[in-house]
Amino acid sequence: MEKLGEISMEKLLAELETLKAQTSRMENSRKDQLSIAIVSGDMDKILAGMIISLAAAAMDTQVKLFFSFWALAALRDPKKKAKGKDFISKMFGFMLPKGRNKLKLSRLNMCGMGPMMIKSLMKKQGVMSLDEMFKEAAELGIEITVCEMSMHLMGFKKEEMIDYPNLRFAGATTFVADAGESSMQWFI
Amino acid sequence: MTTEELKGLKVAKSVDARGTACPGPLLEAKKAIGTINVGDVMEVLSADEGTKIDIPKWCTKQGHEFLGSIDENGYFKVYLRKK
């Protein structure tokens, strides 16, 4: 009985050691970093994503945003034009919002009345505009990665994307790799 | 700290963030904290109710000492010491 007790004690200690090693590995591999996959192109969701990102950056958390699908419309520069598009790409380009100031609301859009009302309320209550938010984000070093595959799928081209200091073009693997080392991983 | 103690503090930097809503005050606090020395007291003026809860959390994360807040008419003052 006594021997059995000793063995289980030894086992327990060994288990504890493995656990300790595991937790320290997990702690070391997770950085103070926020990774968000932003897929939605609705104004409200882009706003939420940017506000949370800015708050995180203000807390010195490294922020990495991965823009994909509908969200790419928010990264279009209305002043830029891309040449050499096929018919379907042109159609997509025509139907999707041209830039962050033309985004629609996910609810109560009312043919553009909703966004207009929200924008005037935001201004009245001192909430930053999306333009200001992107400017702040750039200053705080928030990284934006454009999903190359969905950009091609939607017929957008690199040359019509906004000027942004930390704009990268990459694939889903980049997001997964970044998210893997982040302490927070979200999907909007 | 009591309100009297907070009022008696020597403030090294005052940030007026009353014109901005969340997360404006936090961003302004972040920018201003870099301009003061360790041990100095910073005051943040805000009209955004959420800031009163957010600033202490920010202090905990950044390691600064949250000292307290004073309610004024229509806004409030938050005090913290840089660590």
Over residues A112-159, the pLDDT tens digits come to 899 999 999 999 999 999 999 999 999 999 999 999 999 999 889 999
| pTM exceeds 0.80 | yes
A121 touching chain B per CB within 8 A:
no
CA separation for the pair A165, A173 (Å, rounded): 22
Q: Is residue A126 part of a domain?
A: yes
pLDDT of residue A2: 53
Residue A170 located in a structural domain: yes
* Spatial separation of the C-alpha atoms in residues A82 and A173, rounded to whole Å: 27
| Whole-number Å distance between alpha carbons of A72 and A68 | 6
Q: Which residues of B touch A54 (CB under 8 A)?
A: 23, 26-27
Q: What is the domain range of residue B42?
A: 3-81
State the complex-level ipTM.
Answer: 0.82
Q: Which residues pair with A36 in a beta bridge?
A: A65, A186
Q: Using omega within 30 degrees of 0 as the cis cutoff, is the peptide bond preceding B23 cis?
A: yes
DSSP-assigned letter for residue B12: E
The model's confidence at residue A29, banded by pLDDT at 50, 70 and 90, is: confident
How many Å apart are CA A180 and CA B50, to the nearest integer?
31
pLDDT score for A93: 86
Looking at the domain assignment, is residue A89 inside a domain? yes
Confidence of residue A4 (pLDDT cuts 50, 70, 90): low
Amino acid letter, residue B49: E
pLDDT band at A10 (very low <50, low <70, confident <90, very high): confident
How far are the Cα atoms of A80, A97, A161, A181 from residue A77, in angstroms, in the given order?
Answer: 5, 10, 5, 31
CATH number at residue A165: 3.40.1260.10
In a domain, A16, yes or no: no
The answer to whether position A8 is within a domain reads no
Residues 45-64 on B with a CB inside 8 Å of A are 47-48, 54, 58, 61-62
Q: Which of A40, A53, A46, A36 is nearest to A142 (CA)?
A: A53
Which segments in chain B show pLDDT lower than 70? none
Look at chain A and report how many structural domains it folds into.
1
| pLDDT tens for each residue of A60-100 | 999 999 999 999 999 999 998 888 888 888 888 889 999 99
Residues 6 or more apart whose CB falls under 8 angstroms from that of A160 comprise A76, A77, A80, A81, A82
Catalytic residue among B22, B35, B57, B72: B22
pLDDT above 90 covers a percentage of chain A that reads 70
Mutate to test the interface with B, among A122, A128, A134 (most CBs of B within 10 A): A128
- Domain membership flag for residue A2: no
